[in-house]
Amino acid sequence: MALLEVRNVNVSYGNVQALWDVNLKIEEGRIVALLGANGAGKTTLLNTITGALKPTSGEVWFEEKRIDSLPPNKIIERGISYLFEGSRLFPDMTIKENLEMGAYHRKFWAGRKPDIERMYKLFPILEERKKQLAKTMSGGERQMLAMARALMSNPKLCLLDELSYGLSPKMAKAVFETVKQLHAEGITVFLVEQNVHQTLEIADYAYVIENGRIVMDCEGCTMLENEYIRQAYLGI
């Protein structure tokens, strides 16, 4: 049974349709990738899953319950977290304060202290610099803090939007290794990325979206060998 299921979802911005009959499943315990160019509809789909956008038609189901009519805070309560593109940290707050903001909702606030300690074990550099302001961190460090903050709500499903955006190849490799570590700890991951090669190397399953439509889906390793993917997205 799918942990998350998007069923025939259409989304419009006024008279402009952004998603067309999108169908997608994310099985529990897997890394599922969504690939596509800028403007293809990746972030629109994430915003629909998390309740920031409402579909004009279609449904979104999580743990066999329909969630597309719920507000974002109720969807977070259900067990979905969202790491936005560009991390969107609170720059003038410390690392520890940013982590606490990940548990701001009353459901998670009481357990914030052990959860922060868990994040420090997962990301040791954050404990070393817990009093440092977020705006003084490097790009890779900010992404790690953003990931840790997203995990503070103890999600069952973590949505990661353009995780490697703006990072050096070395730091991009490091954050992808962290995704593998999260997966090993039992967190289901939906990874939305333009870094196709590294994404498909770790993804169990992958979808390709173009012009708001899902045009391909298969096992990640199989897609890496697909001739169209190799030419259109890898340039080989």
Which CATH number, 1.10.287.3510, 3.30.70.20, 3.20.20.70, 3.40.50.300, labels domain 2-232? 3.40.50.300
User: CA dihedral in degrees (26, 121, 73, 172; nearest 10)?
Assistant: -60
Asked if 12 and 57 count as a contact pair (C-beta separation under 8 A), the reply is: no
Q: Taking 60 as the threshold, does the pLDDT of residue 189 lie above it?
A: yes
pTM: 0.86
Q: Are 35 and 196 in contact (CB under 8 A)?
A: yes
What percentage of the chain reaches a pLDDT higher than 90? 47
Q: Residue 39 carries which side chain, given as an amino acid letter?
A: G
Listing DSSP states for the chain in one string gives -EEEEEEEEEEEETTEEEEEEEEEEEETT-EEEEE--TTSSHHHHHHHHTTSS--SEEEEEETTEE-TTS-HHHHHHHTEEEE-TT----TTSBHHHHHHHTT-SHHHHTTHHHHHHHHHHHSHHHHHTTTSBGGGS-HHHHHHHHHHHHHTT--SEEEEESTTTT--HHHHHHHHHHHHHHHHTT-EEEEEES-HHHHHHH-SEEEEEETTEEEEEEEHHHHHT-HHHHHHTS--
CA pair distance 156, 21, nearest whole angstrom: 25
pLDDT at position 167 over 80: no
What does the pLDDT read at residue 86? 55
pLDDT at residue 62 above 90?
yes
Distance from C-alpha of 210 to C-alpha of 119, rounded to nearest angstrom: 36
Please write the tens of the pLDDT for every residue from 99-139. 888 776 655 556 678 888 888 888 888 898 899 999 998 88
Domain range summary for the chain, segments of one domain joined by +: 2-232
Express each pLDDT in 5-22 by its tens digit.
Answer: 999 999 999 999 999 999
**What are 160's two structure tokens?**
């990661």
